[in-house]
Structure 1
Amino acid sequence: MTDASSENTGATVLLVDDNPQNLKVLYETLKDKGYRLLIANEGSKALDLARRHQPEVILLDIMMPELDGYQVCEQLKADPATADSAVVFLSALDDVDAKVRGFALGGADYISKPFQAQEVIARVRTHARVIRLERQLQERNRELENDQTRILNSISEGIYGLDEHGIIEFANPAAGLISRCNAEELVGQNFFQLHFAGMVPEGATMPVMATCSQGVAESQRGIAMLRADGS
């Protein structure tokens, strides 16, 4: 296996065309490049394969019966399971309007027929690499978020995460214990209305409000707060 094919190992590429000869050409072009290749000869089958296998790259013919490439792309981009796949349109239509429409629907690239093998190889390699890196980054971000949540949940002091309007987006178990309710019940409530209703004189600034609305760091101690039950 060459260095290039080793780099591509694990990436899935879905080939979609209603013309068997075109599918054969694409398959022969990519079969030794280290990809896992899937084949569909119609739009509905392409959607099913894409949802089940979530390919990095989809080479998608535009002119197909029943569901054309534009319709398939629109459905792919509307589905969270397939929205991040790189859709590369394949078509003999070489006018600007056809390309613009494809890009407007979320297409990542465009290859004109008849195919040039080196162009197909280069474009697939580029898009597969980008999508794999993006997915790895997303997975790493999820891991970091989970680690952060575990750390915050283990702290014995009450911790809240608020949006710019003071709506509670996160509360650790200690915050729920202090408020005498489950932490999940705090999420979605307005922090200021929940804990300071009637306690701050009219016109006065509520504690940490500037932090939420302006991103200004505040350090305040000894603040009296209401519990969720009003006590």
Structure 2
Amino acid sequence: MNSERNKMAPYKTVKPGDGHTLPPFRWWQLFTRSLLHLHLSGEDGELQTWSVDVRHGGDEDGEAYVRLYRNGVNRAQSSLPAAFPVPGGTIEVEVSGYGLKRSHYVRSDGSEQQLVPDPASAEGRRARLQQTNPALSRGVGAASVIVLLFALVLGVPQAVEQITLFPPIAENVGTFYSPFTLPATANVGLVLATLAASTERALRLRYNRILDGGFFGGDD
């Protein structure tokens, strides 16, 4: 299982950190930053807090990095996707165009667990909704899946039609006519609904290559 995942996500080179302190999470960073934590026991048995900090907008060079902290001190950084060695295993982090795809602690025996979102982050607020109102949380999650399924059913045929209208393709393959033709305003609404649905799923670290990375190109 891990070997198959690694083939799909070639991890980048991990660089040493510079020792700076983990900046506090600010409310205006809700949709541009992800911060998650993991509590582990070190070799001496002391409890350690490992944190991963992802700035989705990227650094000054435009590339998004993930930084690893131990007890609030920067220990390493990497471009994405990333795999950081920590006591007993690795922390793996991957992103899509909508947010986090994966932030898991993978133990040496292959078992894994998701890191816990910081309460101030968007992921943490979504997790709190799941804890305080599980019925509403399930309803929102189901609505997201329904929206994405509708987007596939309605959007893909229209996209194929536009591709086959291109003269070289039409001459060699023929033209496909979509059974669905939505007005421009409806297509804009469909795109916005799809973005919202995939973002909601990313806040729960839910990702499916077809639903979230398909028609609208949410894969990284």
Q: Same fold (TM over 0.5)?
A: no
* Greater percentage in helix: 1
* Greater percentage in strand: 2
Which structure is higher in RCO with an 8 Å CA cutoff and minimum separation 6? Answer: 2
Give the alignment's TM-score, normalised by structure 1.
0.25
